[in-house]
Amino acid sequence: MFARLTIACALAAVACAFTPSAAHAVSPGSGRWYWPVGTENFQGWDGYWVYRASNHSWHMAQDMPAPVGHDVYAVGDGTILESGADHGYGGVLVVLHKTAEGKYFKAVYGHIWRGSHTAVGDKVTAGQVIGRVNECRHVHFGIHPGKAYPPDNNPYRGHTYIKSKTYGWVDPVKYLRANPRILDYAAPALPVVASVETMDTATVLGVADGEVYWTIGADDAKATFARSLADDGETRELGADSALPSLDATRFVPAVAANSFTLADRLPLLTLKASSSSPLWGHAVTFSGTLKNAVGAVFVGATLVLETSPDGLSWSKVGSAKTGLAGAYSVGYVPAKRISVRVRFVAPETYLPAESRPTTVAPRPAIAAPVVPSTVREERRFTVVGTVTPHHTAGPSPIMLHVQRRVSGTWRDYPLVTTTYRDSGSASLYRGSPTLPEGTWRIRAEAPRDDLHAGKNSAWTGFKVR
């Protein structure tokens, strides 16, 4: 059976006032989404890109059948962007939702009687009843990824007359199944990184410097062997008086058979990359990377903690993120000064904790160009002022004035001018008082001694001395 709109159905707009329930009346389905009519069985009704000969169009949504008055559920948490009484649906909502990996998408719920708390800007929760099915006996459910509206600026579009034009709309069922609402933690199987053949049953001692050590036999007949973890490593026997290095018996898990053993690696590999090592002060840096095991298998839904340290010794939590389906994560942080950043993972089971290599970020002060009179008197002291953000930057007077004079068509440096520095509460005011001879000049502010922030120069300000 395929749904077909009729004029009576499209124009249905019967008032239906009720208060939506926040209770989850149904259980979530694929991807942990609450499907609009509570089921993923659409009984053969029109899906995405079905051709409709009646009006020569292609359907850009999934029709989900249900009796008149059946509850309509929000698929996930979200914010109502559009709430209309008609638009060809009799009643329709457009809600902005977000996947577990942080992808935004707009969902259209059409052919519904809207609830009493479904105005633009209202928040909805996953599984909340946001309306009821109207006389059309189905919900038209469409998805447009992203926050931006479609290029035709029509957030309600349900079909297209041009097969090559999707306007950015996608198959809603495939989208929800491929982009979960909630990611449960899932660790890959421990990877086998070494397989060693032995003359007899071995007692694995541990690993050090890329070599595995084991013994065979007991008491006076005991022999100790070593072999590189590399695939082409050769086995060597250690002399009775050979001292063993400090062995790691925790990271590698042995599985011993009669004439062989394998080693599985418990240490995850956690990477970290910063979008900028010297952002403008007050701007966020995005830290991203992946969490995988030794053979590249990914961790899904793993919680990572973003930590900072001023000295690399004591660390404080400043954020967190979860890995997605590809083992990737992303988290933002606004640094206020030069600081070390790392990401840490504590495995719930099986795997060992892991830390990324620390990286350093240092924000650039926002130094305003100096304010100077357009013309000043020669050999007379004049005042140069400007602001710098953040306030309380390092040093008693971190701002210097770089002065240049125009001579024979080129700019030539003049001695740097020191400034005094005063905090204004939200920024800081620098002030200098140079004395200059006649000529054409320009001046800018610099922070050469600020070791807590990346260096930055202001723009040049030109002026004349007469």
> Is pLDDT of 79 > 50?
yes
Q: Which pLDDT value is given to residue 155? A: 95
pLDDT band with cut points at 50, 70 and 90 for residue 11 = very low
Q: Which pLDDT value is given to residue 186? A: 95
Tell which residue, 23, 12, 21, 34, has the closest CA to residue 117: 21
The domain tally of the chain equals 4
> Is pLDDT of 17 > 60?
no
Q: Find out whether 60 and 166 touch, Cβ atoms under 8 Å.
A: yes
Mean pLDDT of 93-120: 94
Q: Find out whether 445 and 385 touch, Cβ atoms under 8 Å.
A: no
What CATH code is carried by the domain that includes residue 114?
2.70.70.10
Q: Do 88 and 132 sit in the same domain of this protein?
A: yes
Tell which residue, 9, 5, 52, 46, has the closest CA to residue 161: 52
Q: Which pLDDT value is given to residue 397? A: 66
Q: Do 311 and 252 sit in the same domain of this protein?
A: no
Q: Which pLDDT value is given to residue 390? A: 78
The Cα angle at residue 51 between residues 50 and 53, in degrees rounded to 5: 145
pLDDT band with cut points at 50, 70 and 90 for residue 94 = very high
Q: Do 372 and 332 sit in the same domain of this protein?
A: no
Q: Which pLDDT value is given to residue 2? A: 34
Q: Residue 180: exposed, middle, or buried by beta-carbon count in 10 A (0-12, 13-18, 19+)?
A: buried
Q: Do 57 and 155 sit in the same domain of this protein?
A: yes
pLDDT band with cut points at 50, 70 and 90 for residue 459 = very high
pLDDT band with cut points at 50, 70 and 90 for residue 16 = very low
Cα separation, 356 vs 352, in Å, equals 13
Rounded to two decimals, the pTM is: 0.77
Residue written as tokens 């030539």?
Answer: 412
Least confident piece of the model among 16-20, 131-135, 363-367, 433-437: 16-20
Q: Which pLDDT value is given to residue 393? A: 63
What CATH code is carried by the domain that includes residue 461?
2.60.40.10
Q: Do 236 and 261 sit in the same domain of this protein?
A: yes
Report pLDDT digits (tens) over 21-53: 444 568 999 999 999 999 999 999 999 999 999
> What is the pLDDT of the chain when averaged over all its residues?
91
pLDDT band with cut points at 50, 70 and 90 for residue 394 = low
Q: Do 36 and 148 sit in the same domain of this protein?
A: yes
Residue 357 or residue 229, greater confidence: 357
> Is pLDDT of 15 > 50?
no
- Pairing relationship of beta strands 138-145 and 62-65 according to DSSP bridges: antiparallel
> Is pLDDT of 402 > 50?
yes
Report pLDDT digits (tens) over 227-277: 998 877 789 999 988 899 999 999 999 999 999 999 999 999 999 999 999
Report pLDDT digits (tens) over 296-313: 999 999 999 999 999 999
> Could you give the percent of the chain with pLDDT greater than 90?
79
Q: Do 310 and 276 sit in the same domain of this protein?
A: yes
> Is pLDDT of 421 > 80?
yes
> Is pLDDT of 88 > 80?
yes
Report pLDDT digits (tens) over 180-199: 999 999 999 999 999 999 99
Edge to edge, the sheet with strand 375-376 lists 375-376, 461-465, 439-446, 400-407, 410-418
Q: What Å distances lie between residue 258 and 196, 238, 267, 327, CA to CA?
A: 11, 21, 27, 37
- Domain containing residue 233: 192-265
> Is pLDDT of 337 > 90?
no
Mean pLDDT of 327-347: 95
pLDDT band with cut points at 50, 70 and 90 for residue 3 = very low
Q: Which pLDDT value is given to residue 392? A: 62
Q: Do 146 and 27 sit in the same domain of this protein?
A: yes
Domain end point (choices 361, 377, 393) = 361
Q: How many CB atoms lie within 10 A of CB 284?
A: 13
Q: How many CB atoms lie within 10 A of CB 20?
A: 22
Q: Do 247 and 376 sit in the same domain of this protein?
A: no
Q: Do 219 and 326 sit in the same domain of this protein?
A: no
Q: Residue 169: exposed, middle, or buried by beta-carbon count in 10 A (0-12, 13-18, 19+)?
A: buried
